[in-house]
Amino acid sequence: MHIANPIYDVVFKYMLEDNKTAKLFLSAIIGEKIDVLEFSAQERTVEIKPPANEKVPLTVCRLDFSAKLKTETGFKTVIIELQKAKYLSDLMRFRRYLGLHYQNADNSYDDNQVKPREIYCIYFLDYGMDLPERPVLKVNYRVWDAYTGDEFPASGEFVSGLHHRSWIVQIHQLKERRRNELEKILSVFDQSNVTNTRHILDVDEEAFPEEYREIIRRLRKAMEDPQKRREMELEDDIIKELQDKERQIEEKNKTIVDMGKTIADKDQTIADKDQTIADNVKTIADNAKTISELEKELSELKLKYKE
């Protein structure tokens, strides 16, 4: 089955705008049953000029959800922050955005007093980092006695209110890794399945867990949408433009470094010449002193000779 490539931000957002698809997808990642899911997108719009000189807006999103989770004792509501990165520089953006969540008074609930909601962070990385070579990594907080090392359950409002759980999906590690149901679901991101165009993936519907096939149906619908195809082309243009600008910046930085080295070499040459001049001045001064001493000795000898 051919589907739109969810590595593109426009397709990724389209997939998760459908509530049923988003609940299935996010539940599989966090390993908890989502009963109710509310979506709110934080968007920024970028305008570029394609070859035809038309201006078309492309929306690139960070995705936020408020989720009501079913637990063994009832329900709890959490904030799910989902971000997708193409560049290593996005790490600082993650930190800034997470900080905004902690500051946002809306990310709380009233239970006789205002209490913070737990924050779940999901990161999709499209580049290599200093992380274990695994498709999906889970980061969870731990609580232990600093003296004995005894570990305690990581529960309670204080811990959950000041710490967060994270799931890291490394897209480049998804190739041929299908060890469990989650990795089968995430196979929709496997870039080894690209067709003759990077916009389209060819996936095996039969190998996909039946309960989650709504996800690939949603991605097929995106592929069939001419507007989404056009937006993927625009995203390619923006990425290329960003890469070109990064390359120009690198070249300018290299030029600046080279110029700095040249200036430093010239400064060293000048310093060496200054040192040579100083040495020569000292030599002249030493010679003048020697001549003066010799003239003095000569005068003394003449005086003795006259006597």
**Alpha-carbon distance 257 to 254, whole Å?**
5
Side-by-side strand order, sheet with 56-70: 33-48, 56-70, 75-85, 118-125, 165-170, 136-139
Over the stretch 133-160, which tens digit does the pLDDT of each residue have? 899 999 988 889 999 999 988 777 777 7
Percent of the chain with pLDDT over 90: 31
Reported pTM: 0.70
**Alpha-carbon distance 236 to 225, whole Å?**
17
- Which amino acid, one-letter code, is at 107? N
Q: Does pLDDT of 224 surpass 90?
A: yes
| Burial of 16 per CB tally in 10 Å (0-12, 13-18, 19+) | buried
Q: Does pLDDT of 32 surpass 50?
A: yes
**Alpha-carbon distance 29 to 180, whole Å?**
12
